Amino acid sequence: MNTVPYLTFALTKGRLAHQTLELLAEAGITCEEILDKKTRKLIFVNEEQRLRFFLAKGPDVPTYVEYGAADIGVTGRDILLEEGRNVYEVLDLKFGACRMCVCGREDSREKLKHHEMIRVASKYPRIAKEYFYNKKHQTIDIIKLNGSVELGSMVGLSDVIVDIVETGSTLRENGLTVLEEICPLSARMIVNPVSMQIQSDRIKRLIRRLKESLEKEH
């Protein structure tokens, strides 16, 4: 019987998972099962390398990692900032690069210059509050939305929005613009603090290999 413990990865469903698997493959970490598009399985195993992988919604990834249900996770920095989980952020994977911004109609720019109370719609209330309260010292009324946040500014729900901007085309096509940049974002690798001690050698070796692959690319 193999007594080597599994190293469990929680990946973010969708494009981020594909990019993560590509990078892991460069570092010699593979999982045949997960590449099968037809499968309905939720957990994928590489017995030989004693690895397990599962796919989760982005905001759930740091939850799995904090509780130790996964040793390692990959998700966006936006999610890590918003969720504020107790995990180690060990690597910037560089892909999924975009920006967290305050956006709105050009005529809303004035409202960011004074300390007047404004309405801000966002999927990221924690990031929005942190920025406005601690950096700008401006009081806001935050309205939580779950998607298509741009609508908030367009239909008069809010004065501005706080949202992710990647290419900027959603803003452009809807008559909105970036008013202020909050921070850059990209995919990050996170590790459970206890796993980092217990499986220290294995995890550090993995981080080293991934770093080498990333350096080759950039």
> What's the 3-state SS for 109-130?
HHHHCCCCCEEEEECCHHHHHH
CA distance 89 to 157: 35
The token pair at 185 is 């974002």
CB of 21 to ligand PRP, least distance (A): 20
Nearest to 98 by CA among 162, 19, 12, 184: 184
Does 2 participate in binding ligand PRP (rule CB under 6 A)? no
C-beta of 36 vs 166, nearer to ligand PRP: 166
DSSP string, 178-215: EEEEEEEE-EEEEE-HHHHHHTHHHHHHHHHHHHHHHH
C-beta of 96 vs 199, nearer to ligand PRP: 96
Does 174 participate in binding ligand PRP (rule CB under 6 A)? no
C-beta of 31 vs 98, nearer to ligand PRP: 98
Does 100 participate in binding ligand PRP (rule CB under 6 A)? no
Q: Which residues contact 43 (CB under 8 A, 6 or more apart)?
A: 52, 53, 54
C-beta of 23 vs 165, nearer to ligand PRP: 165
The token pair at 42 is 């939720």
- 24-32, 45-53, 89-97, 168-176 -> range binding ligand PRP (CB under 6 A): 168-176
Nearest to 98 by CA among 159, 147, 171, 154: 171
Does 147 participate in binding ligand PRP (rule CB under 6 A)? yes
Nearest to 180 by CA among 125, 103, 121, 97: 103
CB of 216 to ligand PRP, least distance (A): 27
Selected binder of ligand PRP within 13, 136, 142, 168 (CB under 6 A): 168
Selected binder of ligand PRP within 169, 197, 201, 216 (CB under 6 A): 169
C-beta of 12 vs 195, nearer to ligand PRP: 12
Selected binder of ligand PRP within 106, 116, 166, 212 (CB under 6 A): 166
- 16-24, 56-64, 70-78, 142-150 -> range binding ligand PRP (CB under 6 A): 142-150
CA distance 129 to 100: 13
Q: Which residue is nearest to ligand PRP (CB)?
A: 147
Q: How many helices (H) and strands (E) does the chain have?
A: 8, 11
Residues that bind ligand PRP (CB under 6 A): 147-150, 163-170
